[in-house]
Amino acid sequence: MKKENFNYRKTIRNSIFYKSIDNFAKDTFPDLKRILSEKLNIICQEKKFPKSLHFIDLYEIHKWEQCTQWILEIDFDDYEWSYDTMKPHFFVIIIMLEEVVGKKELYFSCSFSNSFSNFSTKINIKITEKEINNNEFISYKINEMKSFFNSLNKEVLREMNKIEYDKLELQ
């Protein structure tokens, strides 16, 4: 890895923006996880699904040395694949910072998607190196992220109800 890329990565991970995202996820995900897991458990009981599913949260997952993710997802470990479609099951909320190697470009996104319907929602923006320590910009983006998460409750609940639990096959 080039020293220049390493320094850029270090600059990003030490930025106010990165730390703000990390703090937001660590403050928001535990309550959201608890609330959504309770709702999911009720849905599983109503649909007479034999096993309780739950949400898991993962923080600062570094992928490919250029992407950091904060993840809240349904744990489908025992039901990973669909035998019908041969595709994995997923139901995930992700906050992601992605660095474009060698270009000093940074992309920020928040998204919710799942493998059970075509529904997905996303915030996706390009961020400059100047903005990652600009308090006004960061405050605006954190508020935008809060709004995004506040609006998710209805969509996530609706999508959890659309899962065809009787078609999940134990692996």
**Burial class of 105 by CB neighbour count within 10 A (0 to 12, 13 to 18, 19+):** middle
Helices 16-46 + 3-13 axis angle, to 10: 70
Strand pairing category for 120-127 and 105-114: antiparallel
What is the distance between the alpha carbons of residues 102 and 122, in angstroms, rounded to a whole number?
26
- Give me the pLDDT at residue 137, please: 93
Selection from 63, 59, 142, 141 nearest residue 99 by Cα: 63
- Residue 143: which H helix or E strand, with range? helix 135-162
Mean pLDDT of the chain: 86
- Give me the pLDDT at residue 5, please: 58
- pLDDT exceeds 70 at position 3: no
Q: What is the pLDDT of residues 19-33, one digit of tens each?
A: 999 999 999 999 999
- Give me the pLDDT at residue 37, please: 92
Q: What is the pLDDT of residues 56-112, one digit of tens each?
A: 999 998 876 678 999 999 988 877 777 777 778 889 999 999 887 677 778 999 999
- pLDDT exceeds 60 at position 1: no
Tokens of 81: 């694949």
